[in-house]
Structure 1
Amino acid sequence: MLERPTSKAGWTRVAFGEVVRLSKARVAEPEAAGIERVVGLEHIEPGDLRIRRWGDVTDGTTFTTLFKPGQVLFGKRRAYQRKVAVADFEGVCSGDIYVLEPANDWLMPELLPFLCQTDAFFDHAVGTSAGSLSPRTNWTSLASFEFLLPPIREQSRLVEALSAADKLAGVQHDLLTRSESVFKALFKERIGRGFKPADYQRWEEDDEPNMCFVRLSDVASVDRGRFSHRPRNLPQFFGGPYPFAQTGDVAAARGRDFSASQFLSDEGVQYGKSFPPGTIFLTIAAVIAATAISTTETYCTDSVVGIVPKDPLDVDYLEYTLRFTRPYLEFEVATQTAQKNINLEVLRPLTIPWPSKEDRDAIAKELAAAESAIRTIEARQAATKKIMHEILRANFEVPA
């Protein structure tokens, strides 16, 4: 990682608007001008400097703001979303996107997008935004942002380090995308082959002659969580050592990466129901059929169901299978009054494919290995972005 500079002697305090200008180029009829691509805020991913998605001008657009390769696109609406990208093609973009470029030779063009990624710049943009539902910053406010500008030689050193890290992050992004595609295809092949797309609850023997089917309640206990005392928010029920799973905790989890956001006290557990390690939690209200696996004894709210496999070694296969049924449970089974929900009468008789023990283990190991590879890539990408963040913090956010 690039070391923090020992001295900032020779660095110059400048306003953003002194070294960066807002491009006001417009094109009234993009299609007639030969422009093919249109970019909205939804096409820019937070923290990713590449524009990987766009719309087609031929599909119609009202956007007229012109951008060209090398210019920086900054989302001025909801700046807290941290949307910054460097264009590598010509196009038109939303009026909620500022098109930025260096105003003079004081600032290297390659450094501009990284400068726009600093916490200090985003804090300024958010702090100067106006509006409640859809806050926007304005150019006058952004132009007033002050920072220490390094000499060109130091800028070149920073650009070299940051560009290398950004290139690595791009490679990791592409690898992650391909790995996720492989996992989805594998997931569908290994688990989905047991389901008829038109109807999860029925099957024909001719479709899968070697596949056994069972009801969920045949291979696992299925019980709703409980935390029945009212009011629930009395402080004496919380703050203890007992993990308490809520809908949001399960929805935010990724496989075994589950952690409770609240913990019950000795008094609180008297009103709850606990589930052993290796329980599959499945949400049944508001968020439908999100799943996670516990690694410790855990209590859960009554909007979560605890599914405990009769054979603990089946937990991974069963979680993958339940994960596959989520669209069916969410869009075809869930009923809605004030919010979507499903009940035990639906879950317990749910029909699922149940191959031999040997096949279940093999399928679970294969999918777990593929998913582990994805987590490894994600961790490495996060480490790369952390390095970039530290370089920016050390050079632009630490007082001279």
Structure 2
Amino acid sequence: MTEQQLPEGWKMVKFGDIAKHISKRVEPSETDLEVYVGLEHLDPDSLKIKRHGVPSDVSGQKLLAKKGQIIFGKRRAYQRKVAVADWDCICSAHAMVLEANSKNVIPEFLPFFMQSDVFMEKAVAVSEGSLSPTIKWKVLAEQKFVVPPLDKQMDLVKLYKVVTDAEEKSLTFYDAIHQLYRRLREKLISEITAKSKLSLGDIGFTFGGLQGKNASHFNEDGNAMYVSYMDVFSSQVISKGDFSRVMVSPGEAQNNVKTGDVFFTVSSETPQEVGMSSVLLTENLDRDLYLNSFCVGFRPDTNKVDIRFLAHYLRSSFFRKELRKLAQGITRYNISRKELMKCPINLPDISTQNFIAQKLDNAYDALNDAKNRSSVNGKLKIRVISDSLKV
């Protein structure tokens, strides 16, 4: 669409004309600021920062972000991480710090605009790199977008705030249910009294994920289904339909997974993400399913462990602390399959496992209901924002 075809008042602008890039570096050990915001502290499609760290958590130069400025995850933009700082803070160098150019855009409008599909799709498209695709400001600044006139922006901000308020209320409810579930999980698991501690290697064996983008199995329509790093990280239980589907070139079939398998993330840029786990709980897969790279599969002995119990236990603080002790690295954290099998697990008798699993399953079902409700409201918000920018 040319500028002549645009509705009255709408303009075609470069992103660098509506946003300013702020790049002031800070040494965490030398700052008086009390808040550190990493990419792991940002939630996809949410402008709110609900958790954070402190500067002493990190080393190496970070970025200074002032209250009201936008923190945008330039690495892995497909995660859709954009947030507005509520305080002066330092943030990850894998982010961009931006603020609105008030001559061309209302400051409150810009962060909502950056949540739109039109912006995110362009951001992902100009990202460079395969393992951790990253956006360069010089490239992003040159990208062209259509924006409404200032009076229209003001009206849209009011609309965005209404749908965002509905989303935030559902998220608040979800967070409350999540806290209750976690407290119940930690209480029940902390009360386990086992005669002896085992290691993961005592109750099952590992298998590796596919290496390379083209190592996948095919059906007749060319679709390969696999469990990805983000599938594992985002949910402790993976059910049918939750995994990724891609179009790739035919490769050798190997390492297909089964119901009851456990998946671990074994390579990450943060210790918080490494060793996250999911359990595949689905039946009657309509085609083979595979595990992608950067993950390790674990097949437990179901005579020794209740899979439902394991799904909850592996996300408990007790197990996560033990697992993080095995992570090695400075700029990237890794756990080998050999080290993973050494991780201790406090396993009660099978009847106790069944009892704990049933209690936690009930709470987890309530948590999923709340999550689905907030997801619907979140998708509605993004659709409203994206549709309002179509011309």
How high is the TM-score relative to the length of structure 1? 0.62
Deviations 1:115-138 (A, max 9, x none): 111222233334445677663322
Q: CA deviation at 1:22?
A: 1.5
Deviations 1:253-286 (A, max 9, x none): 6436256879xxxxx99x99998xxx63345996
CA contact (8 A) 1:247 1:304 kept: no
Q: CA deviation at 1:66?
A: 5.0
CA contact (8 A) 2:46 2:82 kept: yes
Q: 1:354 to 1:85 in 2, by over 3 A?
A: same
CA contact (8 A) 2:239 2:282 kept: no
Instruction: Give 2:363's aligned amino acid.
Output: A
Q: CA deviation at 1:79?
A: 3.9
Two-structure CA RMSD over aligned residues (Å): 5.6
Would you say how many aligned residue pairs link Structure 1 and Structure 2? Answer: 347
1:135 counterpart = 2:126? no
Q: Pick from 337, 340, 348 the counterpart of residue 337 of structure 2.
A: 340
**Matches of residues 1-400 of structure 1 in structure 2 within 5 Å?**
9-16=7-14, 20-22=18-20, 35-52=33-50, 53-56=52-55, 62-63=61-62, 65=64, 67-69=66-68, 71-93=69-91, 96-104=95-103, 107-129=105-127, 135-139=134-138, 141-142=140-141, 144-150=143-149, 152=151, 154-195=152-193, 200-201=197-198, 239=219, 251=232, 254-255=236-237, 257-258=239-240, 280-282=260-262, 290=277, 292=279, 294-296=281-283, 304-305=298-299, 307-308=301-302, 316-317=308-309, 320=312, 339-341=336-338, 352-354=347-349, 363-396=356-389, 398=390, 400=391
Q: CA deviation at 1:234?
A: 11
Q: Give the greater-gyration-radius structure (CA).
A: 1
State the partner residue of 1:213: none
Structure 2 residues without counterparts, runs of 5 or longer = 208-213, 246-251, 268-274, 328-334
Q: 1:289 to 1:36 in 2, by over 3 A?
A: closer
Q: CA deviation at 1:113?
A: 0.7
In 2, the alpha carbon distance for the partners of 1:384 and 1:63 equals: 34
In 1, the alpha carbon distance for the partners of 2:205 and 2:39 equals: 41
CA contact (8 A) 1:250 1:258 kept: no
In 2, the alpha carbon distance for the partners of 1:323 and 1:65 equals: 33
Instruction: Give 1:372's aligned amino acid.
Output: D
In 2, the alpha carbon distance for the partners of 1:333 and 1:25 equals: 35
Residue 197 of structure 2 aligns to a residue whose secondary structure is coil
Q: CA deviation at 1:15?
A: 0.9
CA contact (8 A) 1:68 1:90 kept: yes
Instruction: Give 1:185's aligned amino acid.
Output: R
Q: 1:8 to 1:381 in 2, by over 3 A?
A: farther
CA contact (8 A) 1:76 1:97 kept: yes
Residue 72 of structure 2 aligns to a residue whose secondary structure is strand
Instruction: Give 2:44's aligned amino acid.
Output: P
Query: Percent identity among equivalent residues?
Result: 20
In 2, the alpha carbon distance for the partners of 1:58 and 1:331 equals: 15
Residue 48 of structure 1 aligns to a residue whose secondary structure is coil
CA contact (8 A) 1:225 1:272 kept: no
CA contact (8 A) 2:28 2:58 kept: no
CA contact (8 A) 2:65 2:97 kept: no
Q: 1:352 to 1:388 in 2, by over 3 A?
A: same
Q: CA deviation at 1:387?
A: 0.7
Q: CA deviation at 1:50?
A: 1.5
Q: 1:38 to 1:184 in 2, by over 3 A?
A: closer
Residue 100 of structure 1 aligns to a residue whose secondary structure is strand
- Which piece of structure 1 moves more, 380-389 or 12-21? 12-21
Residue 394 of structure 1 aligns to a residue whose secondary structure is helix
Instruction: Give 2:261's aligned amino acid.
Output: F
Q: 1:307 to 1:88 in 2, by over 3 A?
A: same
In 1, the alpha carbon distance for the partners of 2:173 and 2:65 equals: 31
In 1, the alpha carbon distance for the partners of 2:255 and 2:57 equals: 58
Q: 1:11 to 1:387 in 2, by over 3 A?
A: farther
In 2, the alpha carbon distance for the partners of 1:42 and 1:244 equals: 27
CA contact (8 A) 1:80 1:122 kept: yes
State the partner residue of 2:249: none
In 2, the alpha carbon distance for the partners of 1:291 and 1:261 equals: 14
Residue 185 of structure 1 aligns to a residue whose secondary structure is helix
CA contact (8 A) 1:36 1:58 kept: no
CA contact (8 A) 1:284 1:342 kept: no
